[in-house]
Chains A and B, each alone.
Chain A
Amino acid sequence: MSANGRTRHRGAAVASRTPEPAMCFDRATLAYGDRVVWSELSMTVPQGEFLAVLGPNGSGKTSLLRALLGLAPLASGSLDVLGRPPQRGNPDIGYVPQHAGFDRDVPLRGRDLVALGIDGHRWGFGRLSRADRDRVQSALEDVAAGPYADAPIGRLSGGEQQRLRIAQALVGNPRLLLCDEPLASLDMRYQQEITELIGGWSRDKGGTVVFVTHDVNPVLGFADRVVFVVNGRWAAGGTDEVLTSETMSGLYDAPVEVLRVKGRIVVVGEGSGAGFDIDEPHHFPEPAGAHQ
């Protein structure tokens, strides 16, 4: 297998020749000081799969991505990413961070953001080669961001910025795409577009997706596997295995009801006065004691 992420041509054929899983957690525990984020996580995700990472706020979903990125070392257990221990700056990983929005006046165009995905980590001044500029252009076109690629990025809508972020993450031809709440603060139409963009990339290129989300519904059509993390506990498997009243009640250690309504999944909890906001039925209930 070529180590050079640029010249590699991938797809289902290559994925079958490289049988190492996209990621393999083996009794992995992540802790910040005394606080255990999740413990003894064991899960293997083959290449080409779409993994949805679910759970309430603060349950360690982002930490899971940071572990894969080599930014958060495990307290115990092991983790392999594409057959190797996590490594900072792994060129095989594309990363779409939680959306923070760009400052209105930042002197940066979408095109520049995507270009940083190619050479931003390299020292020196540098100028993109012709071939690299073409790659930026085609990455922009792949996410249909061509029309606003030269506008100041701070003036674009959240959905447009998110497309540019995806182009930035994909321009390096990664094998693994990590997305942290890519749908947050987007309206329904954009949510669908962005999900299709990411799911479509996985399907067409055989790439693996890790998709952190607090709402499973937009990705129901794409997710091959889900992992639900809450209160240091976790459950992994197919959507229908994990998102059941039984599994969820076990995770929360409290009665939790999983309902399927008109093709959508609604998780309703009432444990220990943690309550549940009926107005936002897609939010996963907070575990008891989550705020302590």
Chain B
Amino acid sequence: MIDTLVHMLGYSFAQNALLAGILVAVVAGLVSRFVVARNMSFAVHALAEVGFTGSTGFILIGLSPVLGLLSGSMLTALFIGTLGLRVRERDAVVGVVMAFGLGLGVLFITLYARYATAVAILFGAITTVSRGDLMLLAGVAVVTLVGLGVMYRPLTFATVDPIVAEARGVPVRLISVLFLVILAAAVAEAVQVVGVLLILTLLITPGATAERLTAQPGLATVASISIALLATVGGILLALVTTVPVSFYVTTIAFVCYLAARLGGPAVERLRGVRAE
């Protein structure tokens, strides 16, 4: 099995996949912390699904599906960001935009009539990532990470303590829109690994698991990134030596991590003597 792995890693598609996986995991792990803390699972879902529409649309007119995905999710982020600033509105706006976006997606697939491509976008196809795609992914990753680095503190403040953050002069609304845009980029990245339908495994599970492990924000971020890396890299390596798709392994590893944290978390707390109530 090790021999097979070494052999497979000699191929450039495998190297591309691993590099792409690492990029995606770092971005997804970091973003995931805030997605969970800001209760944005539904928004992630919508960004991914309208991203799907974007990529089918771009394929139809002969452009890069990755770019289409990015455009679709960005456009959705701006829609949600400008129309649904209040939490109360947000879910409804997300739902409305997502439904329409998916409707367009149906149209594009019908016009194009090549379901294999659609399936790749829906379930992920990291082993088909080209050098060009990799460069695009790296570019998006850098922009995303720099963006998050710049707004890390005010984003944290606005996330855990929005009222005081606003009073202290944090531009809470601007941060909210900026985060959606970054989230859209992260979604477009993560879709490359796990696909539109399984996106939550990289953008929710790592953050949700990290929350169970530590109450220290910095550590939680490191844990979230580590879990995303473990699931992605582990998933790709396992898929290389078996015939089961990457997405299955990634989702399974992430889920096992979450279960372990749920079951092990209380035990850790008891060891540390943290009060239960």
Contact = CB atoms under 8 A, between A and B. Distances in A.
Interface of A: 69, 71, 88-90, 93, 95, 97-98, 100, 102, 105-109, 112-113, 116-117, 119-126, 148, 151-153, 155, 165, 168-169
Contacts of A152: 215, 274
A124 B157 contact: no
B150 interface: yes
28 contacts: A89-B168, A95-B164, A106-B160, A107-B33, A107-B211, A107-B215, A107-B217, A109-B216, A112-B217, A113-B161, A116-B164, A116-B165, A120-B161, A120-B168, A121-B153, A121-B157, A121-B170, A123-B150, A123-B153, A124-B152, A124-B153, A125-B149, A126-B152, A126-B153, A152-B215, A153-B215, A155-B274, A155-B275
B277 interface: yes
Nearest to B274: A151
B31 to A, nearest CB: 15
B166 interface: yes
A151 B214 CA distance: 10
B164 A97 contact: yes
Interface string B146-183: 00011111101100110111111110000000000000
Contacts of B210: 107
A175 B215 CA distance: 32
Nearest to A154: B215
A148 B25 CA distance: 34
Contacts of A124: 149-150, 152-153
Contacts of B152: 124-126
Contacts of A120: 153-154, 156-157, 161, 165, 168, 170
B141 to A, nearest CB: 17
Which of the four size classes fits the interface of chain B?
20 to 34
Contacts of A125: 149, 152-153
Contacts of A98: 163
Contact of A155 (B163, B167, B276): B276
Contacts of A126: 152-153
Interface of B: 33, 37, 149-154, 156-157, 160-161, 163-170, 210-212, 214-217, 220, 274-277
Counting chain A CB atoms within 10 Å of each CB, which of B154, B168, B276 scores highest? B168
Contacts of B167: 69, 71, 88-89, 93, 95, 97
Contacts of A117: 164, 168
A184 B73 CA distance: 43
Given A89-B167, A155-B277, 13 more contacts: A69-B167, A89-B168, A95-B164, A95-B168, A98-B163, A106-B211, A107-B37, A120-B161, A121-B165, A123-B154, A125-B152, A148-B275, A151-B274
A108 B215 contact: yes
Contact of A107 (B169, B216, B276): B216
A124 B210 CA distance: 22
A122 B153 contact: yes
Counting chain A CB atoms within 10 Å of each CB, which of B151, B160, B210, B214 scores highest? B160
Contacts of A155: 274-277
Minimum-distance CB pairs A-B, first 5: A89-B169, A120-B157, A152-B215, A107-B220, A97-B163
A148 B274 CA distance: 9
B257 to A, nearest CB: 16
Contacts of B170: 89, 120-121
A105 B154 contact: no
Given A69-B167, A151-B274, A151-B275, A112 B216 contact: yes
A8 B96 CA distance: 52
A121 B149 CA distance: 14
Contact of B161 (A69, A116, A151): A116
B201 to A, nearest CB: 19
A123 B165 contact: no
B78 to A, nearest CB: 22
B168 to A, nearest CB: 5
B226 to A, nearest CB: 14
A119 B150 CA distance: 13
A148 B156 CA distance: 21
B134 to A, nearest CB: 27
Counting chain A CB atoms within 10 Å of each CB, which of B37, B156, B167 scores highest? B167
A90 B152 CA distance: 21
Contacts of B154: 120-123
Counting chain B CB atoms within 10 Å of each CB, which of A93, A98, A100, A124 scores highest? A124
A71 B166 contact: yes
B151 to A, nearest CB: 6
Nearest to B157: A120
A123 B164 contact: no
Contact of A119 (B33, B153, B276): B153
Counting chain A CB atoms within 10 Å of each CB, which of B212, B216, B277 scores highest? B216
Contacts of B215: 107-109, 151-153
B153 A105 contact: no
Nearest to B207: A107
Given A107-B220, A120-B154, A120-B156, A168 B149 contact: no
A288 to B, nearest CB: 30
